[in-house]
């Protein structure tokens, strides 16, 4: 993969490619931005380009150096990721040992440090020493989601490169052209992943379609057996130990409410996430007022916030479904 294969981050790869071509590569870069938008892929491509034996300012993916970096067995390219929830002091000591030696095979030693926003204080302070006295011929690539949690002294010593969420169309096209995903499924996955290609690739379409179907019944027919339907549904969902499933269900609920709101406001079908459900969504939009849809959306967001604060899952789901049924006039 060359820099041109990095989709949607043109500014990032232009900066990096120009730095190689102009001989102005910085000692330390800070890649920051949301998860799943190509930070690690760009860092690996940059490491390849810095050491490629064939291309100048890019990677060829064919030479010995590029292939070793791709296979994670190049002695001069090291990736350090959090162990458990944090990057720890022992890992920083390892990093200091690595950068104290000259490159064995490559032109540049490259250390990719993923998760600098979850460094322990001890690790961050130790790392500052490495940043203050950067070793020759070593390039440090720091990666994080949240730049605001970093020590200002770390930020000021790096060249910052922001990574943005990707447009839905770019993600859809990648899924179709590079992953062979069917058009309708690619469109749905691209809409659901909210700009993160990594998430779009990870989405299990069959499971997510089943989850969406379950969620849609909550909006279209929430009480087939009276109020007890809510309690039994909440019980089933709460018993599912897979926390990703609850996140997925809440995402579907938000997206469906959003789609109904769009149909009520503008009717612009290009903005609809669940376009394959347009008939069902339209009949809900005709039945509900904008104010009701807005309240439903708020209810889902409140549930999400409560769960983040460790509220009881079973109870939160029951309350949410009762409120939604009430807001839609079923109770």
Binding site for Zn ion (CB under 5 A): 52, 54, 60, 63, 66
Instruction: State how far the alpha carbon of 220 is from the alpha carbons of 255, 262, 302, in Å.
Output: 15, 17, 21
CB of 53 to Zn ion, least distance (A): 5
CB of 174 to Zn ion, least distance (A): 23
CB of 64 to Zn ion, least distance (A): 8
Please, which residue, 60 or 145, has the CB nearer to Zn ion?
60
CB of 106 to Zn ion, least distance (A): 11
Please, which residue, 2 or 211, has the CB nearer to Zn ion?
2
CB of 61 to Zn ion, least distance (A): 6
Characterize the bridge pairing of strands 224-227 and 159-162: unpaired
Two tokens at 56? 């100048």
CB of 67 to Zn ion, least distance (A): 8
Using an 8 Å Cβ cutoff, are 80 and 113 in contact? yes
Please, which residue, 64 or 83, has the CB nearer to Zn ion?
64
Residue 32 φ/ψ region, left for φ over 0, alpha for ψ in the -120 to 50 degree band, beta for the rest: beta
Please, which residue, 88 or 108, has the CB nearer to Zn ion?
108
Please, which residue, 54 or 129, has the CB nearer to Zn ion?
54
Please, which residue, 3 or 163, has the CB nearer to Zn ion?
3
DSSP structure string for 104-157: SSSSSEEEEEETGGGB-HHHHHHHHHHHHSPPTTEEEEEEES-GGGS-HHHHHT
Burial class (CB in 10 A: 0-12, 13-18, 19+), 129: exposed
Using an 8 Å Cβ cutoff, are 234 and 318 in contact? yes
Length of the chain: 331
């Amino acid at each position: 993969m060359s820099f041109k294969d990095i989709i949607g981050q043109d500014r990032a790869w232009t900066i990096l490619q120009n730095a190689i071509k102009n001989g102005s590569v910085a000692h330390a870069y800070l890649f920051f931005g949301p998860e799943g938008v190509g930070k690690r892929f760009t860092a690996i491509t940059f490491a390849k380009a810095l050491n490629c034996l064939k291309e100048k300012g890019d990677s060829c993916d064919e030479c010995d150096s590029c292939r070793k970096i791709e296979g994670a067995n190049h002695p001069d390219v090291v990736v350090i990721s959090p162990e458990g929830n944090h990057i720890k002091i022992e890992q920083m000591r390892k990093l200091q040992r690595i950068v104290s030696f000259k490159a064995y095979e490559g032109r540049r030693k490259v250390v990719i440090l993923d998760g600098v926003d979850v460094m322990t204080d001890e690790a961050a302070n130790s790392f500052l020493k490495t940043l203050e006295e950067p070793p020759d011929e070593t390039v440090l690539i720091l990666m994080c989601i949240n730049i605001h949690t970093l020590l200002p002294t770390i930020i000021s010593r790096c060249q910052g490169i922001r990574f943005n969420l990707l447009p839905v169309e770019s993600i859809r096209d990648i899924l179709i052209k590079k992953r062979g995903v069917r058009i309708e499924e690619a469109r749905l996955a691209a809409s659901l992943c909210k700009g993160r290609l990594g998430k779009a690739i990870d989405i299990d379409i069959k499971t997510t379609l089943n989850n969406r179907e379950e969620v849609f019944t909550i909006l279209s027919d929430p009480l087939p057996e009276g109020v007890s339907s809510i309690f039994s549904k909440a019980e089933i969902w709460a018993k599912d130990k897979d926390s990703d499933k609850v996140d997925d269900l809440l995402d579907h609920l938000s997206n469906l409410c959003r789609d109904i709101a769009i149909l009520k406001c503008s009717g612009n079908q290009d903005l609809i996430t669940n376009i394959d459900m347009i008939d069902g969504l339209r009949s809900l939009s005709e039945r509900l007022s904008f104010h009701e849809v807005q309240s439903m959306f708020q209810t889902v967001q409140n549930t999400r916030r409560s769960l983040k604060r460790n509220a009881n899952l079973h109870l939160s789901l029951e309350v949410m479904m009762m409120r939604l049924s009430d807001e839609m006039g079923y109770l």
